[in-house]
Amino acid sequence: MGKSLRDLRPVYVVGVGWHRYQRPSETPYVALGLHAIRQSLADAGIAWTDVDTSYVATGFLGMAPGLPMLRYLGASGRPLVHVENASASGSAAFRHACIEVAAGVADVALAVGVDKPDTARHVRTGISSLADDAIAFFTHYALLLDQYTQEHGVTPQDVALVAVKNHRNGALNPNAHRQQERSLDEILGGKLLSGSLTPLQCCPVGEGAAAAIIASEEGIKRLGINSGRAIRVAASAACSERAGLAGPADVTLTQDTVADALQQAGLKPQNVDVLEVHDAFTIEELLYLEATGFCKPGEAVQLLKEGAFEIGGKMAVSASGGLIAMGHPVGPTGIGQIGEITMQLRSEAGSRQHKGARVGLAHMIGNGPICYAHVLQKP
């Protein structure tokens, strides 16, 4: 086993920024990305010329879209890497930006995610499908939802309470795609997409951007960055599917990856104050909470009903609104999670603030068989 982030020099998130996640518009992706980058630079109190290396995460934009975007900030001649890793693109970009700074190759790195959906984009693998176009992501999770309710004696209405909480949190978030509280009746009253899943229990895929500035202690001192607002990246873990996995790959990989991240940070699940989880569908939040040891199998619904996962509860889960309300523009999503946790650990999250937050965990799945987890810690 190689070294972990903890074995290298410390790295910190020193700046975060967003362009609101929203329905597709006429705004060019370049404008979306620049808005988030400039906000993150201003938040860190540094100039573009202080950035040593950049990682650009996208899912839909095609070849090297960061080049025309970053050119507006000034062609610096410094390294630029493009990352595409499905829903985990932003998480992957953030991880590798952290590794480069932790290894001492750079002192300051930018990780930015930007995307605009392109529904006309189809990739041919050359491998025939058993069901052609009949299988969709929401069908997979509708089946898991049905299995979960039968195994644990809960109802689809219980599972939909995840969406009630997350829409309520999203209503407090100026960067969220969905900014409206929804009642349980509203959530359940929508058109059935598959099984008992309705649109308000599924994430919207729109456009937007999120950015984070990562710096070493040397970079913080040299540039005069406010160390009191710097949040330590205590751990980074990643894995992909392997032969012989038991159960759904995304659930098993979540269990393994989060356990690895917490072990790297020397922490236990009960030490986490804020959790941003890949809740593209309501059932995912419950499955991942249980898989990672935040509660026992079958306990998540009862704890949800008791308010344990609310802002101000035992652990704030999806305080941003999660993918369900914050939205899931793909490229930015994992970086946006890092931004939310950074704001929480700085006590700068406003009406979404989880009091006394000191440890946060960000979790993302990429297309099922890829998983990332990051632990952030207030120094």
Do 229 and 345 touch, CB atoms closer than 8 A?
no
Whether 5-119+205-231 and 137-192+233-377 share one fold: the answer is: yes
pLDDT bracket for residue 1 (50, 70, 90): low
What is the rounded distance in angstroms from the CA atom of residue 257 to the CA atom of residue 280? 18
User: What average pLDDT does the structure give for the chain?
Assistant: 93
What is the rounded distance in angstroms from the CA atom of residue 20 to the CA atom of residue 327? 10
The CA R_g of the chain, rounded to the nearest whole Å, is: 19
Do 283 and 145 touch, CB atoms closer than 8 A?
yes
pLDDT bracket for residue 336 (50, 70, 90): very high
pLDDT bracket for residue 335 (50, 70, 90): very high
What is the rounded distance in angstroms from the CA atom of residue 366 to the CA atom of residue 12? 24
What is the rounded distance in angstroms from the CA atom of residue 196 to the CA atom of residue 105? 50
pLDDT at 225 over 90: yes
Please identify which residue in the block is written with the tokens 């970086």.
335
User: Tokens for 364?
Assistant: 């993302």
Q: What is the DSSP letter of 71?
A: G
Q: What is the 3-state secondary structure (H, E, C) of 22-56?
A: ECCCCCCHHHHHHHHHHHHHHHHCCCHHHCCEEEE
Sorted by where each begins, the domain ranges of the chain are: 5-119+205-231, 137-192+233-377
Q: Percent of the chain beyond pLDDT 70?
A: 94
Contacts of 102 (CB under 8 A, 6+ apart): 5, 8, 9, 10, 11, 216
Per-residue pLDDT tens for 159-214? Answer: 999 999 999 999 999 999 999 999 999 999 989 888 889 999 999 999 999 999 99
Task: With CA atoms as reference, report the closest residue to 345 among 99, 14, 97, 113.
Answer: 14
User: Tokens for 7?
Assistant: 């074995």
pLDDT at 136: 61
Do 235 and 374 touch, CB atoms closer than 8 A?
yes
pLDDT bracket for residue 250 (50, 70, 90): confident
| DSSP string for 245-308 | --S-HHHHHHHHHHHHHHHHHT--GGG-SEEE---SBHHHHHHHHHHTTSS-TT-HHHHHHHTT
Phi, psi of 366 (to 5 degrees): -115, 100
Contacts of 354 (CB under 8 A, 6+ apart): 273, 274, 311, 312, 316, 319, 344
Per-residue pLDDT tens for 51-97? Answer: 999 999 999 999 999 999 999 999 889 999 999 999 999 999 999 99
What is the rounded distance in angstroms from the CA atom of residue 87 to the CA atom of residue 194? 21
Burial class (CB in 10 A: 0-12, 13-18, 19+), 293: middle
Which CATH number describes the domain made up of 137-192+233-377? 3.40.47.10
pLDDT at 128: 52
| DSSP string for 190-221 | SPPSBTTB-GGGB----EEEEEEEEEEHHHHH
The least confident of 12-16, 133-137, 290-294 is 133-137
Please identify which residue in the block is written with the tokens 């984070």.
212
What is the rounded distance in angstroms from the CA atom of residue 46 to the CA atom of residue 308? 38
- Asked if the 5-119+205-231 domain carries CATH number 3.30.450.20, the reply is no
Per-residue pLDDT tens for 105-147? Answer: 999 999 999 999 874 444 444 445 444 454 467 788 888 898 9
Do 346 and 333 touch, CB atoms closer than 8 A?
no
